[in-house]
Amino acid sequence: MLHKSEEEAFLQARESMIRTQLAARGIHDQAVLTAMMNIKRHLFVPASHSAEAYADRALPINAGQTISQPFIVALMTELLEVRAEHRVLDVGTGSGYQAAILAELAAEVISIERHPELAQRARKTLKSLGYQHIKVVVGDGSLGDLSRGLQTAPVAGRLALVEATS
């Protein structure tokens, strides 16, 4: 559990991120900015990197993967034009941060991750934050592996954050 001063520092860092990294660089969708403000990015990164959670860069998370820099997350989300009635497919769950942002805007998020350890960690983090309309599954979305019923209903948008395999 964080001390009040740590929570205040993270809040100030999120506010600065919104102002200097997102709004100043052209992110104008208020719903996206609000979602980015509401989601505590430091909960999605390893504790060893929490002090850098709101920095303007990607950070390592595990399995050789990274959490995308906040501007990229906001830009992709804004370009997707997610609305409350949408169902969104997120390819490349990673830490679950992008899925949480999408869940603030959409009716349902289905997120697919090829690394079981990342999927498990993301599920745990998202569950601890109370998300019930995000489904995290293990599979290789870069190869079109949409098993386990993901193909049963149309989605309004697809967001792919995948590492190319050789």
pLDDT tens track for 30-73: 999 999 999 999 999 999 999 999 999 999 999 999 999 999 99
**Enzyme catalytic residues:** 68
Q: What is the mean pLDDT of residues 98-111?
A: 96
CB 32 within 8 A of CB 74: yes
CB atoms within 10 A of CB 117: 12
Q: Is the dihedral of CA 74, 102, 64, 10 positive or negative?
A: positive
Is the pLDDT reported for residue 162 higher than 60? no
Please determine, for residue 86, whether its predicted confidence score (pLDDT) is greater than 70: yes
Q: What are phi and psi of 134, to 5 degrees?
A: -120, 125
**Separation of alpha carbons 94 and 14, rounded Å:** 20
Q: Collapsing DSSP states into helix, strand and coil, what is residue 59?
A: strand
pLDDT bucket at 3, cuts 50 / 70 / 90: confident
Which pLDDT tens digit goes with each residue over 121-161?
A: 999 999 999 999 999 999 887 665 555 545 544 555 555 55
Write down the pLDDT at residue 147.
Answer: 52
Mean pLDDT of 78-107: 94
Task: Round to whole Å and give the CA distance between 156 and 135.
Answer: 16
Q: At 150, list the tokens.
A: 């993901």
Q: What is the mean pLDDT of the chain?
A: 88
Q: How far apart (Å, rounded) are the C-alpha atoms in residues 77 and 127?
A: 21
Please name the residues in contact with 31: beta carbons below 8 A apart, sequence gap of 6 or more.
Answer: 82, 104, 105
pTM of the model: 0.87
Alpha-carbon torsion (7, 8, 9, 12), positive or negative: positive
Name 91's bridge partners: 112, 160
Q: Is the pLDDT of residue 23 over 50?
A: yes
Distance (Å, rounded) from C-alpha 149 to C-alpha 153? Answer: 8
Domain 4-160 bears CATH identifier 3.40.50.150: yes
